[in-house]
Structure 1
Amino acid sequence: MKNTTKFIFFLLVALLLSCGGESFLASNDGGISGTGNGGSKSSLAGSAYKGPFIQDSEVNVLKIEGDSSSLIASSQVQANLGDFLLEVEPGLLSVATSGRYYDETEATYSEESITLKALVNKDPEQPALVFVNVLTLLSHDEAVKGIDLGNSYEQATQDAQSKVKTLLAAVTGDIPTSQPFTNMNISNRPGTTAEDNAYALYVSALFSEAVNERRLEEPQYSMATLLNTLRTDIGNGDPIDETTLRSLQEANGRLDAASIQQNLESVLIGQTIAPVGDVIDTVTPGLEPPSNLTTSHNPTAASQQFCFDMTAECTNPEHKAQIVTATGLTYDLQIDDNADFSSPIVDLSGWRRNYYEIEHSSLGSGTRYFRVRKHHDDSQLSLWSETDFEVP
C-alpha cells in the first residue's frame, strides 16, 4: 500500500473512531465474554513501534476467552512504518507484533527482534485503531489478570496502566497523561494527544538509550531483557532494581530531543513527531543528585557529619545556618563498608534534613562509604551522590 493511501486510510479510521467520544478506541459496553460468537468481522488498523517496526514484522491477533486464547488473524507490518491492517472478530483481543524495529536514538535498525503486545476490547462490526508499544506491553498481563478477577476491561486496563506509571515514576516522576496507552503514538496522528505521545516516545527512547549503553559492558543485554525485567517488577509489585534504575536515570542525561526528532522524521516522512523534548525537560531536574556533598570528622562528638544541598561545606561552621527541612522531597541515606552498598550499616529513607551526623562508635573503623539521593513526593528518585571517609 502506498504511503499516501495508507495515510488517508488511517486518517479516515481515526476520524471515524474519534467521533462522539473521548477515546478513539472502541470499547464493548456489552461485556467481554461471548462477544465474538457468530459476530461479523471488522477492521483492526494500527501501528507497532519501539521505534517503528520494520516491514514484514509479524502481527498476530489472539482472542481471549476465559483462561484460553486462540489465534484468529495474522498479518504483517506494511513498509517500515509499523502500520498494519487486519479483519478480526469482536471480543477481547491480544494484538502481538514481533520483529525488528527502528532505534530512534541511534538512527539504525535493531539487530534483535522483540514482541510487543496490546490488549483491545473490540466492538462488533466497528473498526478500531490500536497502537502497540512498550507501554501496552508492560500493562498487558496485568490488565488480563484484572479482567480474570471480574473487573471490566476499562477498569482493568486503567489499573494496569497505573501500575506501569507508578513503576516508571522512579525515573519520570508524575507525568500526567489523559489517554490509554493504546492511544499513544510516537507521532501526532489524528485523534491522538501530543502530550501523551511525547510521554510514550520518551519512554521508548529512554529504553533504547539505556539498553544500548548497558550492552557495551554486557553484550548479551537486550531490549527484551529490559522489558522482561520491568514486566516482572510490575507483576510482583516490586520497584525497579537499583542497577536498572541507575541505567535508566543515566540514559535520560544522554537523550537528545533534536536528534530523536530528526531521526524519526527521516523515516516517518511527513508526520509530526511528538514533542519529546518537553518530557526530557520536565524529567531532568528531578534526576539531579544532591549537590555539594561533603563530610568531616567532628572530634568533639566523635562523629561523622555529612552536608548536602548547601553552599557551605561541613568543615565550615557556616553550614549549620544552612541546615533546612526539605520541602517536596525527602532523602535516602546509606552508609556501608562496601563500595557497592550491598550490606548497608545505615539505610534510612524519609530523612527530611540536608544534614546527617552519626557517631563513629556505630560504624566500626576503616574506610566507609556514604551516599544520598532525593526522593521526591511524586516518587521520582534522583541519582545518588557518593563519598567515602575514614573512621578512626
Structure 2
Amino acid sequence: MQARVDPNTVIVSWTEMELPFDLVNSSHILNGRYLLDITDYSLLVENVSPYTDNRTFRCLARGTANPASLTTTTAGLTVGITQATLTTKADPLDERNDTTTTDIYNETMTTNEPPPPPRMLLQIEMELTNTSDVMLFVSEPIPPGEPKALKIDSTSLVLKWLPSDGPVSNYTVYLRKGNYTSTWDLAVNQPPGAYSEYTVYGLMPYEYYQFQVRAHFSTGYFKDSPVSRLIRTAQGKPSLPPSNVTVSTRGPTTIAVSWLPPPPSSLNGVLQNYKLMISPGSQIIKLGPSTLSTVITNRRPYTQYVVTIAVVNSANESSPFSPTVNTTTDESVPGAPHGVIQVGKNPRSLQVFWNKPNLQNGKILFYYAYIKRKDSVFWSRFNTNKQHHLFTGLEIFTDYIIRVSASTIAGEGPNSTALHEKTDVTGKVCVESTRCDA
C-alpha cells in the first residue's frame, strides 16, 4: 500500500483501524513485520497470512509546519491462497540405520526401528487484493482575522474577528498597552464560533491597547491573527483631585488659593477645567486647565471659608474633590448698632440701649455713645463695652441727639441712626422771690 503526499514536509503514519496506536510513522519506520518506506510513504507488510492479515489499514498525514492540518484515508488488505503444494520430508537417517533405505514417496520402508514421522511443508503463493493508492493533500488553515472593536467604553470594549477555517478548539485573546515594548497579557479563552467576538473588561480609561487572537487546534498547533491597530478606550472619570491645595487670606474680603495638578494618568481623558467650590454658599468657580492659582474677592470679613477643588475632563466627568482647607478673612470695621432706644429719662439725664451690629466683621471691643444738644455742633463721646449708657449732667427740658458706633481691632464703624430725645421738666414751677426745690 502506498501514499502520495503533497507537500513533501508531512508526518505520515499507518495504523490498523481496530488499534488506537500507530503501527509505523515517520519517526518510527520499523515495527516488527511492518515497515514504512519513507521514499513514497508505502506500508510494507512481511510474512502476510490469509488467516490474520485480512484487515483494513488507515493512513494519516499531518503537515509538519501545521499539525492541525489533518488528512486520513483507509486501504483494505485481502490475502488469498492461489496455490498450495504439500510435500513431506523426512529427517536424515540415524547413523545406526545406515543399512536402511527409505522412499519418501510412499514406498515400503525397511528398518530395524520405525522411521520418524514426516514433516509437511505448506508452500503458499499469496495474492494481495484491494490495494490502494492514497493521495493526501495537506494545507495550512487561515489564521483568525484582525480583531476589531465594535463598541468602546471607558473600561471595556467588544472585539470581533473572522474565525479560522481550521479545526479550532478554542481562541485566546491577548492584549497589551499601546507602547510597543509592553508584554502581552492573557485576556480570555474563548470558544470558537462562526463569527467570534468577546467583550474585554477591566481596561483603563482613555488608554491605547492592541489585541491579538490566537486560534488553538486539537493537536497543540496554533495560528495568530494580525495585531490590531491601536484602539483607545473612551474617557472616564478622573481618579485623583488636585494636590497641595493652599488657602491664604489677603485682607478682610480676599482669599488666595493655589494647587498642583493631578498626575496626567489619573485624568482618564483630556483636562478641560478645574472646579473650585467655596463655602459658605457652596459657590462653584470654574477655572481654565492651565490655571494653578486664583484670587477670590468679595468675601465677608471675619468669616471662615472652606475651599476644595476637583478636575473636569472633556467627557464632563469630574474627579473627587480634594480634602478641604479653610481660612478666615481678616477683621474689618463693624456695621452700625441698631435698635437704639431711650428707656429712662429725668430732667438732667437720659439712658439709652442698643443692639449689636448685624455685621460685626470681627470682635466688638467697645462702643462709642455720642450726644449733643440739637442746636449745637459739638458732640460729646463716651466709651463703653456694654450695650447701654447713661448720659448725665444734661440740661432740663432740652432737645438732644444721640448716636452709637461699634469698634473692632480694625477700627470704628459707622454711627447708628440718630435718636432724638428731650430731657424731662422739673417737678415744681419756681416763681420769682419764691423758694423752690429742684
Q: TM-score higher than 0.5 here?
A: no
Higher radius of gyration, 1 or 2? 2
Q: Which has the higher strand share?
A: 2
Q: Which has the higher helix share?
A: 1
What TM-score does the superposition give when structure 2 sets the normalisation length? 0.22
Q: Higher RCO, 1 or 2 (CA under 8 Å, sep at least 6)?
A: 1
